[in-house]
Amino acid sequence: MPVAAQVKRHAVERPHRPALCGPQGSLTYAELWREVIARPLPHTGKGLVAITLSDPVDQLVAVLAADLAGATPLLCDEEQRERMADTVPVDLSVDAPLPLAEGAGVTTEPTAGDLVWACLTSGSAGRPRAVVRTRASWAGSFPHLDDLAGIGPDDVVLVPGPLVSSLYGFAAVHALATGATVIVPGRWSPGSLATQLRQATVVHLVPHRLPAVLDVLAEVGGPLRTAVVGGAALPPHARDLAARAGVKVVAYYGATEMSFVAVDADGTGLRPFPEVEIEVRDGEVWARSPWLAEGYLAQAPGPLKTDVEGWMSVGDLAEPYRPGQPLRLRGRGDGAIQTGGATVVPEDVEAVLRGVPGVTDLVVIGSPHPELGSVVTAVLEGTPPSRAALEAVARGGLDAAQRPRRWYAMGDLPRTPTGKPARALVAARLAEGDPEIRRLG
């Protein structure tokens, strides 16, 4: 069923239920549905619609209008739109709120194979690629997430990040399909967290934001009971901190191209998401499920690999895996560092160094070296502990090839729309001699 049709049903059954709470105001489900049908999408067939609106409520109205018209919405910002201009074929650009129309908009008869969602992924190279998925792969997973996280129509779901991120965009659309109230500030807003958490029962976010949410929750209280966390590894002790606050953590692993792959709903480790099969082949994670994307638009190059039996991989690395065991991830294969004949996975190094008191966050990259090819380099956020303290931990927890040879610090790490440290951007700024990145003595 199209998400727009589900929103229409909620508008009929619970018209006065708040649907969207954005920075400019709120809409009930009845008001949201009136906005969608009053601002129809111009006829585009089943083409790609790039939505570059800044207000998250306007974004979601345009997404639902595209869904109603059978088009494929792609949420992106202006910079992304410019960077993908030559590589992603866009049929319609929506850069202002859709105009009011007198007549009814265009609608199409939905099918499970319709391409109903597109999102951008850049990988380690930073080049935008548009990933597209079918209606079945997009909305079919919603009931499973409802069951795992206990999300229902009486919930208030906080989505505290930009909807151009596939993680946050999915969270908002899923909550609307469920009939919940969705708080969409459009960006991370620490100053608004207290107000938001007085209402939210569920938050959907990236791992490094969870401690801040728990800190504010401890100050102001609130009904928050579940945190759905994806996009990167959960920080050490985050689940214990959440449990002490009465918040259940549902952590998941996936990829833009593969959607949900594995989930940890109880702290015992990642297990296959419902209807997902997992294999680890030569250290790489492969999955087969109904949730896999169709691929990249315009046959763009990327890490996605498939085989004739319907399995897919994006090169993520893991320890050997057997069904029934937890999946133990090691990071992205396309970010591996080749140093002196050894292969170092940055996330392995980061996991050890994040345990050092005083380290808030970091990225590990490879820096060019004339003899070794690359050397492991750590760039830490804020004011980290001394280099001697860092090296002591590295000697105790890392093999010789994994230990950073170069250490740097900077104020705030640049981040992707999903909140992950932007590894490629840090590497580029370091290579350019950015004065904000200082060497640790």
C-alpha to C-alpha distance for 380 and 124, rounded to whole angstroms: 19
- pLDDT-based confidence at 270, cuts 50/70/90? very high
Q: For the segment 330-368, what is each residue's pLDDT rounded down to a tens digit?
A: 877 767 788 876 778 888 899 899 889 999 999 999 998
Predicted local distance difference test score (pLDDT) of residue 123 = 44
Q: For the segment 101-151, what is each residue's pLDDT rounded down to a tens digit?
A: 865 555 666 676 788 899 887 543 345 688 999 989 989 999 999 999 999
Q: Which one is predicted more confidently, 417 or 186?
A: 186
> With 80 as the cut, is the pLDDT of residue 256 above it?
yes
Predicted local distance difference test score (pLDDT) of residue 295 = 92
> With 90 as the cut, is the pLDDT of residue 180 above it?
yes
C-alpha to C-alpha distance for 334 and 332, rounded to whole angstroms: 5
Predicted local distance difference test score (pLDDT) of residue 93 = 92
- Average of pLDDT values for 191-206? 96
> With 50 as the cut, is the pLDDT of residue 186 above it?
yes
Q: For the segment 53-105, what is each residue's pLDDT rounded down to a tens digit?
A: 999 999 999 999 999 988 999 999 888 888 777 778 888 999 999 898 865 55
Domain 3-318 indexed as CATH 3.40.605.10: no
Q: For the segment 272-306, what is each residue's pLDDT rounded down to a tens digit?
A: 999 999 999 999 999 999 999 999 988 778 889 99
C-alpha to C-alpha distance for 371 and 214, rounded to whole angstroms: 46
pTM of the model: 0.83
3-state secondary structure the chain: CCHHHHHHHHHHHCCCCEEEEECCEEEEHHHHHHHHHHCCCCCCCCCEEEECCCCHHHHHHHHHHHHHHCCEEEECCHHHHHHCCCCCCCCEEECCCCCCCCCCCCCCCCCCCCEEEEEEECCCCCCCEEEEEEHHHHHCCHHHHHHHHCCCCCCEEECCCCCCCHHHHHHHHHHHHHCCEEECCCCCCHHHHHHHHCCCCEEEECHHHHHHHHHHHHHHCCCCCEEEECCCCCCCCHHHHHHHCCCEEEEEEEECCCEEEEEECCCCCEEECCCCEEEEECCEEEEECCCCCCEEHHHCCCCCEECCCCCEECCEEECCCCCCCCECEEEEHHHCEEECCEEECHHHHHHHHCCCCCCCCEEEEEEEECCCEEEEEEEEECCCCCHHHHHHHHHHHCCHHHCCCEEEEECCCCECCCCCECHHHHHHHHHCCCCCCEECC
Domain 336-439 indexed as CATH 2.60.40.10: no
> With 70 as the cut, is the pLDDT of residue 405 above it?
yes
Mean residue pLDDT of the chain comes to 90
Domains of the chain: which residue ranges? 3-318, 336-439
C-alpha to C-alpha distance for 160 and 187, rounded to whole angstroms: 6
Token digits of residue 74: 């792609």
C-alpha to C-alpha distance for 394 and 388, rounded to whole angstroms: 10
